[in-house]
Structure 1
Amino acid sequence: MRASFASDPDGARGRRVPEEESTFRSCFQRDRDRIIHASAFRRLKHKTQVFVEHEGDYFRTRLTHSIEVAQVARTISGALGLNAELTEAVALAHDLGHPPFGHTGEDVLHALMAPYGGFDHNAQAIKIVTSLERHYAAFDGLNLTWDTLEGIAKHNGPVTGDLPHALADYNALHDLELHTHASAEAQVAALSDDIAYNNHDLHDGLRARLFSEDDIADLPLVGPAYAEVDKRYPDTDPYRRRHEALRRVFGMMVADVIETSSAVLEGSGARSAADIRHLGRPVIRFSDQMWADIRAIRAFLFEHMYRAPAVMEMRAEVSQVVRDLFPLFLEDPQLLPRHWARQIAEAAQDQTTLARMVADYIAGMTDRYALGEHARLLGGTTSATISRWSAQ
């Protein structure tokens, strides 16, 4: 049964370009389906989640991560009586704006774009779904509902202060009320992101041998999960032991969000989705103890995975790829693909417009495409580190 504070597709705020409603799908289902069919969504297959020098194809990409986030988000939304389709749409779209090479690529692109308004992956996701996807005859972008756009823009909370230019430009045309919290559905997508990456980064870090089971034995949640598995399945093989333990960690985080958020929602007095937006505080949250445990896991991952020597070596090398490509395209935009010709002509007289177009192009690249373009345009060979990775 859907709660009174859930987002109702019949009461959705509509699309910027009016369209006829579908006979078979709600507006939020259509949003979700358009995101899945978007070119930017397909490109997530070859964008890294955590950039690790690895061998094999088992590590998460932005695509597999987004699917995992959507699965968690649907579970939590269903348990809380929220609109699962809206939650899923926001979850699937939340990483669309990431450039190649994960957060490393974003950091470099933001620094390069500092004179032109910076770069922010959440704002870039809005630009993609409102402008850069160009497949429909009647409009640029995907023409998503206001509710889905709002969730993409502010699933992590209100956006105040100096807005990223991509978000500011669109918000001037279609007010997303950035000063308020997003719907409960979008808030679920945000915490589902935390749950998914904390769990799979532990799994990927173990598989990459950046740390061992002994190293994580004393971590909160993780240690007790392994102890439970060892008690119940004392003779299981190491791979099954790992999977059984980490899926229990996953389950504990999901259960905590459901239990805690149920109590918060019940005590909030909210009776509508609008009430949720104007409470002035989030309603989807972890318990204080769970949040403390998650911070401890994050601290471990930061030290042993995100700052591991192999990862830092890779980060330095791929950072240079982005640093080389950006000025190259800025100085000679004719190097961009032919279908960018109209935008190149429009941007020719304005350096800021041109820089933002170049950033859009680079941000849309997959990791492998960026490496290939770097090799093609600048010659030479990639380092042994990048060559080993790009061959996977």
Structure 2
Amino acid sequence: MENKNYIITISYGDYTVGVGGTDKVILSHQHIFNEKKYDCVYLFAFEHFTKYPCWNLLFNGNYIGTYSDKKLKNFIWNQYKKGSQLEGIFIHHLNNINFDALNSILSFCQVPIYFYLHDYYTICPSSGLVRTDGTFCGNGFPSKEKCGCCPLSLDSIDVLKKIHNSFSLFEHRITFIAPSNVAKEIWIRDYPQYADKTKVIFHQKLIGEYSENSVKIADNEKIKIGFVGYQRPLKGWNQFKNACIVANKKSLDEEFYQFGWGDDKLSFIKQVKVDFKKDNNAMINSLRKMNIHVAIIYSMWPETYAYTYYEAMASNCFIITSPKSGNVCSQIVNNKNGLITDNLEKVLSDEEKLRKLINDYRTSNHITPYELIENEEFINLLMKNSWIPEKVGISFDISFLFTVLKKFKNFLKKLRSC
């Protein structure tokens, strides 16, 4: 350990290579913890977790090894003997998690637990409240009555029971964290017993004022329209693509962009690659540099947060969203910086009206943040504790072989990249 205090974080995969919102949060948290003199021990499921319940362990973002239950407990005990104190456990997701292994670690570590509500997996482990057709199915745990149009998996029902059991086992020291009021309101409808234990902490804070990209666009100036985020039906990519096809056929003064990742290529939609791993402000910088007038964030389910909304806001974009987009809808209503519509094709095909909407917004009395900084409020939840772990005896186990294999694979990857 580099510091006297450390935290444990748990999620579904390696956040150092993942590109999702949860990965971005975990990466940001690691940087904040390190700045505040906390080390970060990150655990995610070994590839064959159901057969061999082991954890992959990263230390401050670097792979250390694969640990069995006993080996991990012994690791924690050794850190204590060396003077490092575990201050808390942050859980960001339960997908692919072995609950026996999870409960064993949580029982061993008698410290506060902080559970982040990034999506609705804990309500529906099968799909996160999304139907097979890509639409939001509404509140309520899975049931034969509710899930008639979706395959109701017995495995997901079993996972849900295990989630309920874990929450019940540790409810005396667990705090749930929602990244928006919308996320909290939806979640506590199905978990009302935890309403008083659920806090809202937004991922970011809005700082300063950005005054550029704010001049009225001229009648002969092309309207720059960008889909912000990676290509997924759940994010509204299909609606955007179809609307662009219709608008493009009309030869309107509009240019189309997509900011993020995706393999769906259309000749008249320019793709701009954005990687927050290299630059946490990559999206803002790209939107500002390209002088994008309209940002499309057309999620087909209630977003719990949506980094893309705030990035578009900080770029002074006029934002168009669907009525189903959760926190995006809520923030547009609060900040009056966009349009909520269920007919994106009609909006993009009416160039004159769209131009007026943009210019009315640009000449309105609104404030655009100059920068977004990560919200450090979650650090305030940590409290000094004096928990003393117990020594756990350990003999040779198979997890050692997994560590050797993993490091060998990483070595081969580096060789191929040279």
TM score, norm. by length of structure 1: 0.30
Q: Which structure is richer in relative contact order (CA contacts within 8 A, separation 6 or more)?
A: 1
Report the structure number with the largest CA radius of gyration: 2
TM score, norm. by length of structure 2: 0.28
